[in-house]
Structure 1
Amino acid sequence: MSELSILIADDEALIRLDIKEMLQGAGHIVCGEANNGLKAVELAKSLTPDLAILDVMMPGLDGLEVAKILHSMNIPVLLLTAYSQSKFINRAEKVSVYGYLVKPITERDLLPAIQIAYARWKEMQDVRSKLETTQQELQSQKLISRAKAILASCEGISEYEAHQLLIHRAMDLRITAVKLAAQIVKKEA
């Protein structure tokens, strides 16, 4: 796994130190440390880490609230906690964390959890990107379809002929068919 920039937030200094040593020993960079939730959010905004490791129970904002904020900033979160009760786990599910480790943790637990969490986050980014591209393509096709219908009606030609006309006019104007379709639809509105 490649080197990651990681933010650590835990109100216990010794735990932060242990985690930092484990991460650095594995080749990761600890870009920031926080002892409370508010500081963690502040550091995440300024440092934009690749991943954040958060304790659940911290002063200010708890780790679950911080995780929700970091999720909106597109920063994956791995939670560390002494609590394994279902109420904490259920809350963690709702704030889109990518891992949940119960203390005490070892390097043997932490490093694979980081690798899996980051891999799942990257997969989610790929899915989001593909979804966005598909949505844009669908919008383009709808726009072209609407423009073809307008051209067919105005010119008294078939949809196929309107499509050919749209393509040829776009080529003549040296613009994309989508851009020309948008102009046609806008003009018709």
Structure 2
Amino acid sequence: MGKLSILIAEDEPLTRLDLKEMLEGAGYFVCGEANNGNKAVDLAKQLMPDLAILDIKMPGLDGLEVAKILHAMNIPVILLTAYSQQNFINRAEKVSVYSYLIKPITERELLPAVQLTYARWKEMQSVQKELKDTQTKLKSQKIIGHARALLAKQYNISDYEAHQQLVHEAMQYRITLVERASQILKETKREEPHH
């Protein structure tokens, strides 16, 4: 895998410079820097970074508002704050922030946070993909089962025979089983008498 590209949004130039030096020193690529929330969102849309580090208090949109937007763009976020107030932490949890660091930030805290955040995010991606695949599979099985039942009833054959017929027709038409099942369901719908 190539270097992770990271967007930094922090309104204090000195803190921004420190972060950039620590990240680049560790081999990360800082693809963009913003000093306010609106610019951070614009840069994120342009650059599509692998990860974003946002200050909680910024002019324009604050870090949490930006985090919400980036979450919708599927970009993981680490928040920086000068406070460890509970209400901030509660808000951060609601916008799917992966990690937050309290200033002043040291390399010892920053680098593991970046690694962990990205690893957690990748894990989430894999879980979501698995869930989507499972949902697709279930939907397909439901369509196939429905078509099989229709065929069995229509030709007065067993479920097994209906399934074999479905497989045969799918191969004949050079399409997947679920595509043939969907066609059968559509054809049956069209043939149903309208009252």
Which band: TM-score by shorter chain? Answer: over 0.9
1:65 aligns with 2:71: no
Runs of 4+ in 1 over 6 A off after TM superposition: none
Aligned-pair CA distance for 1:170: 1.0
Aligned length: 189
Post-superposition CA distance 1:127-182 (Å, at most 9, x none): 01111111111111000001001101111111111111101111122111111000
Tell me what 1:159 maps to: 159
Q: Deviations over 1:67-121 (max 9, x none)?
A: 0000000000000110100000000000001101000110010000000000000
Paired letter, 1:114? V
CA distance in 2, matches of 1:68, 1:83: 20
Alignment identity in percent?
A: 70
User: 2:162, 2:6 → 1: CA distance?
Assistant: 55
Measure how far apart 1:3 and its partner are.
2.1
1:32-91, Cα deviation, whole Å (9 max, x unpaired): 000000000000000000000000011100000000000000000000110100000000
Q: How does 1:167-178 map to 2 (within 5 A)?
A: 167-178=167-178
Secondary structure class of the residue paired with 2:183: helix
Report the residue type matching 2:132 in the other structure: E
> In structure 2, what is the equivalent of residue 45 of structure 1?
45
In structure 2, C-alpha distance between the alignment counterparts of 1:71 and 1:184, rounded to whole Å: 40
Long gaps (5+) in structure 2 = 190-195
Unaligned runs of 5+ in 1: none
Q: Pairwise CA RMSD of aligned residues?
A: 1.0
Aligned-partner SS, 1:140: helix
**Offset, 1:2:** 5.8
Report the TM-score when normalising by structure 1.
Answer: 0.98
Question: AA paired with 1:103?
Answer: K
Paired residue for 1:78?
A: 78
- Write the letter of the residue equivalent to 1:181: A
> Would you say 1:116 and 2:116 are equivalent positions?
yes
What amino acid maps onto 1:12 in structure 2?
A: E
Distance (Å, rounded) in 1 between the aligned partners of 2:103 and 2:2: 25
Amino acid across the alignment from 1:33: E
Q: Does 1:28 align with 2:21?
A: no
Mapped partners of 2:172, 2:9: distance in 1: 59
TM-score between the two structures when normalised by the length of structure 2: 0.95
* Greater CA drift, 165-174 or 42-51: 165-174
